[in-house]
Amino acid sequence: MRNILCNIINPISAESYEYLPQHIISIDNGIITRICPFVDGDILDYEDYRDAVALPGFIDLHVHLSQYRIRGMYEPALIPWLNKYVFPEEAHSIDVDYATDLAKRFFNALSRVGTTTSIIYTSPYETACDTAFEIAQSMGIRAMIGMTMMDMNSPIDLEQTTADSLKTSIKLYEKWHGKSPLLDYIFAPRFAPTCSMPLMQEISAFALKHNAWIQTHLSENPDELQWVKELFGMESYTEVYEKAGLVTPHTIFGHSIHLSDRELGILKANEAKIAHCPDSNFFLKSGEYPLQRIQNKAIAFGLGSDVGAGTTLNMLHHAKMMNYRQSEFSVLPASALYHITLGSAKLLGMDERIGSLQAGKEADIVFLKPPEDYPLNEQSLSQMLFFGDEYTVQETIVAGNKVYSL
């Protein structure tokens, strides 16, 4: 049982948030049991975090564990960048010791920046993915993790046969689905250029039958689009996934930049979700996310770091980029916060459990301290979103367990 005296910034919707000064958050057995204004003398046994602000832990909807170490390695387009940096680095994870060390560092780094839920791709090796689960479990991390699947057009050391890729993914799903309250498996075909139609169709059949989650990349870069059209002979990228049966309410499409109205219609009709990765999109000069069109269509989306093409795991940075990577459209602080917390929890069907600070929800919380001389008040959210890297993470907790403290 903990009682923590702090200030609170809480998302309410994409349009609004609340600031609650000097409140007590009570946590028992991993659950927030009470949030109430602090009255001196009422509660004697409390921890004093009055100089910090509590927010719901951040949610990263799209991140590659296997690319953590190649952040910032520059190549100005997606396909050359994959070939030059990503594929050689992912191949290192065939070594279990390497994959183990990488996973430990990665999960520590996520906790250090206040991320409490992440949707992860690992290297295309069973052991690398299994190791990531083992370490996440031992560290109390909340995540969905999937082994990247590739059965064509890939370097020989990363490519699996269609049957092996599927068999291994299903084995990992069966091992980890429902085994831990904080972890789940997510099928992770990398993207259409490296996945055959039969592979994608088999994933779809299994996932639909079991209500399993799927993640992949969609329409990131103009060269990639062209390649997909040539490979599959179809009108659009989204229709390739539609034909494969991968456009489902449990699919998270990374990027989704260059989409026609017809493609947006397919995503909407199938209640598919999008992980918007603005930092990555400008690192690789992939293009500008059609934020207004996607909001007008009311397609559910949240933010992803897309490390390694994203340069940092810090979701406050990506919330800033959500604004900065729109040339004309303003993103207000409430909206940016929503898309790294409650909005993403809702998209994942987890908003009853996480995404905001509320009695009855699980205690996923990040405590942040502002830089010296900056008071905490109603304006703190705006400041935090524009120079969040100057805010210090004091503590991160997942389901009531401390996963990081200063």
Helices (H), 254-397: 261-269, 278-283, 291-296, 315-324, 333-338, 342-347, 380-386
DSSP β-bridge partners for residue 117: 59, 142
Residues 114-143 that bind Zn ion (CB under 5 A): none
| Contact region with Zn ion (CB under 5 A), list: 42-50, 134-142, 303-311, 333-341 | 303-311
Nearer to Zn ion, 63 or 385 (CB): 63
CA distance 389 to 262: 39
| Contact region with Zn ion (CB under 5 A), list: 163-171, 227-235, 251-259, 369-377 | 251-259
CA quadruple 134, 139, 142, 147: dihedral, nearest 10: -30
Residues 253-272 that bind Zn ion (CB under 5 A): 254
Half-sphere exposure of 26 (CA within 13 A, CB side): 13
In the block, tokens 């940016």 appear at 336
We find the least distance from the C-beta atom of residue 367 to Zn ion, in angstroms, to be 29
| Contact region with Zn ion (CB under 5 A), list: 6-14, 110-118, 221-229, 250-258 | 250-258
We find the least distance from the C-beta atom of residue 259 to Zn ion, in angstroms, to be 17
The residues, any chain, with a CB within 8 Å of residue 130's CB and separated by 6 or more, are 172, 175
Nearer to Zn ion, 263 or 306 (CB): 306
60 binds Zn ion (CB under 5 A): no
376, 303 in Cβ contact below 8 A? Answer: no
We find the least distance from the C-beta atom of residue 308 to Zn ion, in angstroms, to be 8
A 10 A CB-CB count for 198 gives 13
| Contact region with Zn ion (CB under 5 A), list: 31-39, 164-172, 305-313, 340-348 | 305-313
In the block, tokens 């049982």 appear at 1
Nearer to Zn ion, 273 or 369 (CB): 273
Nearer to Zn ion, 254 or 333 (CB): 254
| Contact region with Zn ion (CB under 5 A), list: 129-137, 146-154, 174-182, 247-255 | 247-255
90 binds Zn ion (CB under 5 A): no
306 binds Zn ion (CB under 5 A): yes
| Contact region with Zn ion (CB under 5 A), list: 16-24, 36-44, 257-265, 300-308 | 300-308
224 binds Zn ion (CB under 5 A): no
We find the least distance from the C-beta atom of residue 64 to Zn ion, in angstroms, to be 6
Nearer to Zn ion, 17 or 283 (CB): 283
We find the least distance from the C-beta atom of residue 215 to Zn ion, in angstroms, to be 9
Distances (CA, A) of 234 to 111, 154, 252, 268, 274: 42, 21, 21, 20, 22
336, 320 in Cβ contact below 8 A? Answer: yes
Nearer to Zn ion, 193 or 254 (CB): 254
We find the least distance from the C-beta atom of residue 36 to Zn ion, in angstroms, to be 41
Signed CA dihedral, 349, 381, 307, 97: sign only = negative
Nearest to 377 by CA among 52, 37, 19, 17: 19
| Contact region with Zn ion (CB under 5 A), list: 36-44, 129-137, 181-189, 302-310 | 302-310
Q: How many residues does the chain have?
A: 406
Nearer to Zn ion, 120 or 398 (CB): 120
Q: How far apart are the first and last CA of the chain?
A: 21
| Three-state DSSP state, 269 | helix
We find the least distance from the C-beta atom of residue 334 to Zn ion, in angstroms, to be 27
Nearer to Zn ion, 3 or 305 (CB): 305
CA distance 219 to 118: 22
Q: How many residues bind Zn ion (CB under 5 A)?
A: 2
Nearer to Zn ion, 254 or 290 (CB): 254
Residues near Zn ion (CB under 5 A) are 254, 306
